[in-house]
């Protein structure tokens, strides 16, 4: 048996700790699978006491990550620090030294993946990132390898556990957004600053990476359309339910006639779809391929050991493949790097979706006719109208409309015209509908 491969761990927080624990616990099996041992021989973390509490006596512990990157003994760097500044320098440094890299850093790859992958290609090293998308769910491997016969048509995923937990609680307990967010923070599901999770940025990082692999394009996070869940009301969640839908924060990427859709926003999904029933902090991704049809990947999208599961799978892959000629490895983005396509990412106004519209109008004859005329003028047809009880103040009444698919720019124009009507009070609430059946 060959001598063990040496790993340098940068960051021993939740995922780093899980990685160290699982690697040690399953050492025998991992060695039998990889053909040689995989051992952490250095750990860098600012919290030396925490690092020492994990480390065995023969592991070098330091608070300077640069020491690990420049140590010639280390074969693979595992970057679990996060962020896009220090982590970027460390990863590029490791690549320059000819070391392979395993990372869980979705923000870094979504923003700087093109540069990092190019650097790795030049040095003939591997950058593996299964843990960057959907925690323990092996979705990157599924897209890069298992589904490689398919022309991928679309991907739709619940890929942020914090947001999904909040929406699940709002629905089940009929609560507004703010107290549920507070509860998520108390339970440790949401950070003290939850912006990335609730504003959809984290989900957008992940769908950007999946989109690049599915369609063979460069990573283009700056082109993603991003809308979070902070404006969703419990009222809309229950109205949606009455109509047979669940509201979920979805990351969506789809091959359309004029380009690729890349978007994150809340969406009504028919409750009979499996993905509509994914609750709490769980993640799920549906991938539709032309040959295979729709496939579903479900599991824990975060957490110490689920994410460690993906980190270690990458370590095993790198260990098996590191001696392979770089030309014979699975390409980072599944497509050969010189054959990436320059298909444009569509701007949101060009994307076609069906919509749920909620508006408050004065309860008098002819109002609906006026609104439907505006919709017709904007090339929007209606699939359902529900009128709710009058609200009392000056006899205002709530109207819910479901529209058929139309270009977003049409819906935007219609909303603007409807809001300008004297018989309409306040703003129109628009939530997109994703049937996920085509």
Catalytic site positions: 206
Supply the DSSP symbol for 406. Answer: E
Burial of 93 (0-12, 13-18, 19+ CB in 10 A): middle
Identify the residue whose tokens are 């967010």. Answer: 181
Cα R_g (the chain), whole angstroms? 24
What b/e readout covers 280-303, taking b as 16+ CB neighbours within 10 angstroms? ebbbbbbbbbeeeebeebbbbbbb
Return the biggest CA–CA distance within the chain: 84
In 3D space, the residue among 105, 115, 66, 64 whose CA is nearest the CA of residue 82 turns out to be: 105
Token digits for 55? 């480390």
Whether the Cβ atoms of residue 249 and residue 164 lie closer than 8 Å to each other: yes
Residue 407 DSSP SS3:
strand
Neighbouring CB atoms inside 10 A of 422's CB total 7
Per the DSSP assignment, residues forming a β-bridge with 154 are 254, 288
Q: Phi and psi of 132, rounded to 5°?
A: -75, -20
Q: Phi and psi of 284, rounded to 5°?
A: -155, 145
Q: How far apart are the first and last CA of the chain?
A: 50
Q: How far, in Å, CA of 329 to CA of 310, rounded? A: 19
- Please spell the DSSP secondary structure of 272-321, one letter per residue: TSGGGG--TTEEEEEEEETTTEEEEEEEESSSHHHHHHHHHHHHHHHHHH
Pairing state between β 396-403 and 352-362: antiparallel
């Amino acid at each position: 048996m060959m001598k063990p491969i040496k790993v340098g761990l940068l960051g021993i927080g939740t995922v780093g700790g899980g990685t160290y624990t699982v690697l040690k616990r399953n050492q025998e099996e991992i060695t039998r699978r990889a053909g040689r041992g995989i051992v952490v021989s250095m750990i860098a973390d600012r919290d030396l006491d925490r690092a020492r509490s994990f480390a065995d006596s023969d592991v070098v512990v330091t608070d300077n990550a640069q020491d690990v990157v420049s140590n010639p003994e280390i074969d693979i760097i595992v970057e679990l620090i996060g962020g896009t500044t220090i982590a970027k320098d460390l990863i590029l440094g490791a690549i320059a030294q000819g070391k392979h890299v395993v990372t869980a850093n979705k923000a870094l790859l979504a923003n700087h993946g093109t540069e990092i992958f190019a650097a790795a290609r030049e040095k003939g090293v591997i950058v593996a990132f299964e843990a960057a998308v959907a925690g323990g769910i092996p979705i990157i491997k599924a897209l890069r390898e298992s589904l490689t016969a398919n022309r991928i048509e679309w991907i739709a995923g619940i890929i942020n556990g914090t947001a999904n937990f909040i929406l699940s609680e709002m629905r089940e307990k009929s609560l507004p957004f703010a107290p549920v967010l507070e509860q998520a923070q108390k339970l440790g599901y949401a950070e003290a600053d939850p912006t990335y999770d609730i504003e959809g940025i984290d989900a957008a990082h992940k769908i950007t990476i999946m989109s690049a692999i599915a369609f063979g394009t460069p990573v283009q996070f700056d082109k993603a359309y991003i809308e979070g869940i902070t404006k969703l009301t419990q009222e809309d969640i229950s109205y949606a339910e009455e109509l047979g839908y669940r509201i979920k924060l979805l990351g969506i990427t789809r091959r359309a006639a004029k380009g690729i859709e890349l978007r994150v926003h809340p969406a009504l999904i028919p409750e009979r779809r499996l993905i509509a029933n994914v609750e709490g902090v769980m993640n799920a991704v549906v991938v539709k391929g032309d040959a295979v049809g729709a496939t579903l990947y479900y599991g824990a999208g975060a957490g110490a050991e689920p994410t460690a599961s993906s980190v270690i799978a990458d370590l095993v892959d790198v260990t098996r493949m590191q001696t392979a000629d770089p030309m014979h490895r699975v390409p980072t983005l599944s497509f050969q790097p010189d054959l990436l396509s320059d298909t444009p990412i569509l701007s949101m106004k060009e994307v076609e979706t069906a919509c749920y519209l909620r508006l408050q109008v004065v309860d008098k004859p002819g109002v609906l006719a006026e609104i439907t005329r505006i919709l017709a003028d904007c090339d929007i047809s209606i699939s359902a109208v529900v009128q709710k009880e009058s609200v009392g103040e000056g006899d205002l009444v709530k109207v819910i409309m479901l529209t058929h698919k139309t270009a977003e720019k049409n819906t935007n124009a219609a909303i603007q015209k409807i809001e300008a009507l004297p018989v309409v009070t306040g703003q129109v609430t628009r939530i997109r509908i994703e049937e996920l059946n085509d």
